[in-house]
Amino acid sequence: MKVMHLLPSLSSGGVEQVVLELCEGLCAHGVDNVVVSAGGSMVPGIEAAGARHITRPIGKKSIFTLFQVGKTARLIRAEKPDILHVHSRVPAWVGQLACKRIPAAERPSIVSSFHGFHSVNAYSAVMARGDKVIAVSECMREHILQNYPQTPAENIIVIPNSIDAAKFNPEYTPSQEWFDKWYSDYPELKGKYTLCLPGRITRLKGAPHLAPILQHLRSKGIPAHAVIVGETKKGKEAYREEVQAGFDKAGVADCVTWTGHRKDLADVLCACDVTLSLTLQPESFGKTTLEALSLGRPVAGYEHGGVGEQLRQFLPAGMVPTGNTQAMAELLEKWYSDRPVPVTPVPAPYRREDMIQSHLELYNTLCKK
C-alpha cells in the first residue's frame, strides 16, 4: 500500500505532528508513505520514520498555487499512491483538482482529515468531499454533519488524534537533573502554584483570560504563577506584546513566565500543578490537555470542543462554563488545597496504536473497492 499525504508545510504544529506520527506508525506496518509539502524543520523526522518527502509549495493561499495542480497530477501519476490523504484546505483543493486531470481508473482514493473548525464556506467544503472524511473528535463529526449535509454520514469516520502512552502515563516523572535545570532557568516558579497554558501564541488560546484568574487567586493569598509554553510565530509578535500589556495593566506581569517552545513538554506538564485550556472557540481535539490528563495531572478547561469531550470522560470536575473566568478562578482556588486525579491510564481510542490501526483499516477498506 502507498499513501501520499498533502499538507502545507512541516514546521511545528498539530497537523504536522499527526502526519509525523502517522508516518512512523504506518511505515512500521510496511506502508509506503510519501509526504508532499513546502518543507520545514520536521522533514528529518519524516524521513527518519522511513517516509519520503517531496518539496512542493502546495499550501499557500494564493492564486499562484493553482499552478501546482498540473505538477501534482503528474506526481500522482508517477507515484501511483493507493490513497491520497489531504490534511489542509489548500492542499486539498490542489489534490482534488489534480485528480480530475487523471483518468478515473488511475485515481487514488481520497481521504481528508478535519483537524480544525474551519470557517464554514465553499472554500472549506473541499475537506468534506473525500471518499472518506476523518473527524478527530465526536464534536468535529457533528460539525461536519451540521454544516456539510451533502457528506453522507457513513463516510465520516471518527479517529481521534493520539498520545504516546509509553511516555505520557502516570508513572512518568522528570529526572532530578531536569528539575534542577528547570528551577535554575525559572527560579520564580519555586514554591508557586503553577498554572500551565500550553500552545502556540495565538488569539485562539485565550491567554488574556489568565489576568483575572491570577488577580482572583492572588487576592486570596494563593501564590499562583502562570507558565505560558509555546512558540510565538513570525507575525504574532504584536499579539504577544498586546497580551503582555494586558498583564502589566492588570498588575500580574510578575506572576507570568513565557518559556517559548519546549521539546520537553511532558516534563513541563509534570512540573506544573494544573494545565489549563482557555480557548473561546472550541478546539477540534486538544492533544496537550489529553497528554496532561494521561500523566495524571489535573486539567481545567472550558466545556466545549474536543477538550470538553476529554474532561467529561477523564475529569468532569475540570469542566468550566466557556469564557467564565470567575468560575475558572474559583475552581483553581479550590484545587490549590485539594487537586483531583483524572482517570488513568488513557484508554482506547486515544492511544497511538489505536490511531494507526484505525487508519490502516480505513485505507484497506478503500483499497478493496
Per-residue model confidence as pLDDT tens for the chain (369 residues): 999 999 999 987 789 999 999 999 999 999 999 999 999 999 999 999 999 999 999 999 998 999 999 999 999 999 999 999 999 999 999 999 999 999 999 999 999 999 988 889 999 999 999 999 999 999 999 999 999 999 999 999 999 998 888 889 999 999 999 999 999 999 999 999 999 999 888 888 999 999 999 999 999 999 999 999 988 777 778 989 999 999 999 999 999 999 998 889 999 999 999 999 999 888 888 889 999 999 999 999 999 989 999 999 999 999 999 999 999 999 999 999 999 999 887 777 888 999 999 999 999 999 976
Question: What nine digits make up the cell of 96?
Answer: 482534488
The pTM of this model reads: 0.87
368 neighbors 1 (Cβ within 8 angstroms) = no
Q: 269: closest CA among 177, 184, 195? A: 195
Strand partners, 257: 227
d(CA 98, CA 77): 10
Chain centroid to CA 88: 13
